[in-house]
């Protein structure tokens, strides 16, 4: 790694893909999950603020900062549902990790791909604590951009090897099944959400519907099932019928944010929920009995992005998969910024 | 300019210096000042939020976002006074401009140099409205990194050509005077702040003191003078004696922020102040008579960074002074991020 003070390592989209492939998707997700879990376990250390959102008619741009007192990270992320019309991504993201001690950025990274990975890794970490023992079959309802990442993360962390796929668009299911070919799954494409959940120990909902939707109704959810609800993640966007929530033990990342963005926006603001960190540290027990339905109401939190940036940063020295960005002014004499400009003129 | 959706133009420190020198520092400041003024004049359009600050023992890291409904900008900036000990800058910054319509970043730019320029340009724009007519002599108390930028901006916008320099460190004054050599100033180094303000129509205070300091006392400020107070810009850091504030007409950028960070943190929270935009749009008159002391209590606001990013963005096509950053994932099919990864493997 460089010691030149003006340089910040930059991980481009191309380098991120190379990094994931060099490490291997399964191992990347496993190792990333360990970083995410480590940071959840030291939850109380983190400076937690709600996202800073700038809303417009077409979408939202958000900044998600957090810090553990030693490192600082933030993610820039947009959400623009209409983007796919002109070939753009609905969500793009990038992030920065910085040194709290001197305020200097240490890493700039693409985070569109990295967010997909950390979302899947977080779901799998949560399921490690919440899913029924011996679970090996997962239904995935919604077979879009996040679906394969979920599948691979659950295989890597929980040994899930049977998938039941459903999407309102059969082409999405075909795409998902094709992408997962040869990765060790027994895949069943299903004709309905009802069919998909049959025999599944874990139900992952990850649809892109932008409104209140009812992907799962109460009668579809058997006892002892773990629901991994990933798709409902902003105000006005939910996937589960309220009755399911009322009979589930509900787990969230950061309660104040999930009350606004998660499935629980359908419930009273004081409905009991458990934060993941409390489960991971053993503070709160899970599953009174084997018939309990557990629900991870995932919306994505800043610490997960922080963990992901921290993980990527730690891979740079060994892999060399980054560029050097001349991002920081570094005059020989800190008080002489103007002189630095003048001297640059002489080199012209 | 590129139309490839994955690419974001990046202005490095090196490119920023080349850009400033290609345009010329005076013209850069003049043109930038016009962008800043234009944005102040449409103040009410802007989404204004306080900075999002993460404080630590050694300093602060801040995000400063704003939007005019069409463009979105934010600046990352740190403040770490102890940094100069190991050769780092106290303040470094970078920023991003994005399209509100699709959330895609349009520009990533260094902002350490750009912030120095926008701070000086903002001071000069304010003085254009607030300084006494015919002013041609300015005292600069504090001859550090910002001092030369202030001098050149005031020359470019107001025709200031006589400078009276003072710093507690005579080496800083020598550095400042040397850097400004040949730029058309008549420069007088002074042995005290008292000496520096003699005959000056404008007094710029831009010291780096980190605590409550009294750079100017009441008896030093004659009638009709304009004070450009740049150095006091965070809680606990001020430069002017309270008595000066009490007999001045005070102008601020964004009142809620300046109450916390500016000189007026010494005053009652309801002490009357005037926002710059109200002066520029003619909403509030200035200078009841020629003896009024006017004070611009500068702390720096997000719209100024937004204007600066907008200005830089508009120079890229003509100058070509940027790199192309592969920052955004751009799969052929937006729902197929995983497939993009798989296809990258095949190219390995």
Query: Does residue B171 sit in the same domain as residue B264?
Result: yes
Contact residues, chain A, for B19 at CB < 8 Å: none
Write out the residue range of the structural domain in which residue B28 sits.
7-113+303-346
* The pLDDT of residue B81: 84
Query: Does residue B292 sit in the same domain as residue B146?
Result: yes
* Angle, helices A147-158/A112-130, rounded to nearest 10 degrees: 40
Identify any residues that bridge with A140 across adjacent strands, giving them in sequence order: A165, A204
Tell me how many domains chain B contains: 2
Coil, helix or strand at residue A268: coil
- Residues above pLDDT 70, as percent of chain B: 96
Contact residues, chain A, for B331 at CB < 8 Å: 89
> How does the average pLDDT of chain A come out, rounded?
92
Query: Does residue B189 sit in the same domain as residue B327?
Result: no
A interface mutation test: which of B54, B149, B336 has the most A CBs within 10 A? B54
Q: Is A23 on the interface with B (CB under 8 A)?
A: no
Distance CA A299, CA B177 (A): 56
Is B78 in Cβ contact with A98 (below 8 Å)? Answer: yes
Coil, helix or strand at residue A231: coil
Is A80 in Cβ contact with B101 (below 8 Å)? Answer: yes
> How does the average pLDDT of chain B come out, rounded?
92
Distance CA B26, CA B23 (A): 8
Longest dimension (CA), chain B: 76
Q: Is B59 on the interface with A (CB under 8 A)?
A: yes
Query: Does residue B279 sit in the same domain as residue B139?
Result: yes
B interface mutation test: which of A7, A15, A61 has the most B CBs within 10 A? A61
Residues B283-305 have pLDDT tens digits of 998 876 888 999 999 999 999 99
Q: Cα–Cα distances in Å, from B127 out to A197, B111, B225, B229, B280?
A: 69, 23, 11, 11, 11
Q: Cα–Cα distances in Å, from B218 out to A129, B215, B296?
A: 66, 10, 16
Query: Does residue B108 sit in the same domain as residue B144?
Result: no
A1 within a domain of the structure (yes/no): no
Tell me how far apart the terminal alpha carbons of chain B are, to the nearest angstrom. Answer: 29
Distance CA B49, CA B272 (A): 21
Q: What tokens appear for A238 in the block?
A: 């939910």
* The pLDDT of residue B77: 96
- Residues above pLDDT 90, as percent of chain A: 78
Is B83 in Cβ contact with A103 (below 8 Å)? Answer: yes
Alpha-carbon distance A203 to nearest alpha carbon in chain B (angstroms)? 20
Cα B253 off chain centre by: 11
Contact A275, A301 (CB under 8 A): no
Residues B35-89 have pLDDT tens digits of 999 999 999 999 988 789 999 999 999 999 999 999 999 999 999 988 888 888 8
Distance CA B40, CA B26 (A): 21
Query: Does residue A59 sit in the same domain as residue A106?
Result: yes
Residue A169: give its domain's CATH number.
3.40.50.720
Query: Does residue A317 sit in the same domain as residue A238?
Result: no
Residue A35: give its domain's CATH number.
3.30.1780.10
pLDDT bin (cut points 50, 70, 90) of residue A346 is confident
B interface mutation test: which of A24, A86, A327 has the most B CBs within 10 A? A327
Query: Does residue B134 sit in the same domain as residue B264?
Result: yes
Rg (Cα) of chain A, in Å, rounded? 21
Contact residues, chain A, for B59 at CB < 8 Å: 102-103
| DSSP state, residue A332 | S
User: Cα angle at B117 between B112 and B121, to 5 degrees?
Assistant: 150
Q: Which residue has the tokens 């985070």?
A: A111
**Is residue A297 annotated as part of the catalytic site, yes or no?**
no
| DSSP state, residue A163 | E
Query: Does residue B144 sit in the same domain as residue B212?
Result: yes
A231 within a domain of the structure (yes/no): yes
A39 within a domain of the structure (yes/no): yes
Q: Is A28 on the interface with B (CB under 8 A)?
A: no
B133 versus B215: the higher-pLDDT residue is B133
Contact B132, B225 (CB under 8 A): yes
A120 within a domain of the structure (yes/no): no
A11 within a domain of the structure (yes/no): yes
Query: Positive or negative, the Cα torsion across B72, B78, B79, B85?
Result: negative
- Residues 6 or more apart in contact with residue A160 via CB below 8 angstroms: A135, A136, A137, A138, A151, A154, A202
- Contacts of A53-56 spanning 24+ positions with Cβ under 8 A: A54/B47, A54/B65, A54/B67, A54/B72, A54/B100, A56/B67, A56/B69, A56/B100, A56/B101
pLDDT bin (cut points 50, 70, 90) of residue A329 is confident
Buried b (16+ CB within 10 A) or exposed e, B108-126: bbbbbbbbbbbbbbbbbbb
Query: Does residue A62 sit in the same domain as residue A155?
Result: no
Q: Which residue has the tokens 């002014």?
A: A329
Residues A27-77 have pLDDT tens digits of 999 999 999 999 999 999 999 887 899 999 999 999 999 999 999 999 999
Q: What tokens appear for B214 in the block?
A: 């009294």
Distance CA A314, CA A65 (A): 20
Query: Does residue A158 sit in the same domain as residue A247?
Result: yes
B118 within a domain of the structure (yes/no): no
B122 within a domain of the structure (yes/no): no
Contact A58, B100 (CB under 8 A): yes
- Residues 6 or more apart in contact with residue B20 via CB below 8 angstroms: A341, B28, B113, B117
Contact B216, B293 (CB under 8 A): no
Alpha-carbon distance B287 to nearest alpha carbon in chain A (angstroms)? 33
* Angle, helices A337-346/B147-158, rounded to nearest 10 degrees: 70
ipTM score for this prediction:
0.90
Contact A17, B344 (CB under 8 A): yes
Residues A137-187 have pLDDT tens digits of 999 999 998 999 999 999 999 999 999 999 999 999 999 999 999 999 999
A26 within a domain of the structure (yes/no): yes
Of B72, B172, B179, the CB nearest to A342: B179
Distance CA A181, CA A297 (A): 29
Mean pLDDT over residues A278-292, rounded?
87
Mean pLDDT over residues B300-315, rounded?
97
> Is B1 a residue whose pLDDT tops 60?
no
Query: Does residue A287 sit in the same domain as residue A313?
Result: no
Alpha-carbon distance A262 to nearest alpha carbon in chain B (angstroms)? 22
Mean pLDDT over residues A341-346, rounded?
86
């Amino acid at each position: 790694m460089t010691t030149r003070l003006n340089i910040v390592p930059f991980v481009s989209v191309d380098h991120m893909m190379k990094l994931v492939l060099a490490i291997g998707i399964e191992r990347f997700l496993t190792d990333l999950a360990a970083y995410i879990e480590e940071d959840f376990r030291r939850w109380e250390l983190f400076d937690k603020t709600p996202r800073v959102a700038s809303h417009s008619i077409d979408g939202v741009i958000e900044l998600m900062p957090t810090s553990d007192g030693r490192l600082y990270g933030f993610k820039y992320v947009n959400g623009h549902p209409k983007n796919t019309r002109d070939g753009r991504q609905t969500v793009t993201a990038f992030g920065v990790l910085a040194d709290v001690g001197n305020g200097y950025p240490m890493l700039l990274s693409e985070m569109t791909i990295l967010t997909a990975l950390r979302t899947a890794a977080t779901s799998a970490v949560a399921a490690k604590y919440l899913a029924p023992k011996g679970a090996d079959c997962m239904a995935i309802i919604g077979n879009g951009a996040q679906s394969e990442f979920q599948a691979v993360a659950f295989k890597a962390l929980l040994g899930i090897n049977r998938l039941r796929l459903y999407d309102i668009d059969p082409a999405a299911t075909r795409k998902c099944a094709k992408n997962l070919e040869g990765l060790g799954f027994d895949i069943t494409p299903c004709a309905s959400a009802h069919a998909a959940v049959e025999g599944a120990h874990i139900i992952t909902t990850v649809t892109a519907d932008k409104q209140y939707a009812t992907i799962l109704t109460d009668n579809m959810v058997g006892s002892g099932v773990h629901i991994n609800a990933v798709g409902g993640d902003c105000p006005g966007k939910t996937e589960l019928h309220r009755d399911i929530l009322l009979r589930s033990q509900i787990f969230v990342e950061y309660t104040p944010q999930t009350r606004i963005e998660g499935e629980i926006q359908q419930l009273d603001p004081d409905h009991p929920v458990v934060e993941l960190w409390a489960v991971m540290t053993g503070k709160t027990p899970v599953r009174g009995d084997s018939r309990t339905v557990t629900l991870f109401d995932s919306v994505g939190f800043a610490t997960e992005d922080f963990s992901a940036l921290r993980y990527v940063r730690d891979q740079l020295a060994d892999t060399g998969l980054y560029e050097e960005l001349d991002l920081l002014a570094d005059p020989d004499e800190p008080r002489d910024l103007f002189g630095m400009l003048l001297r640059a003129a002489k080199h012209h």
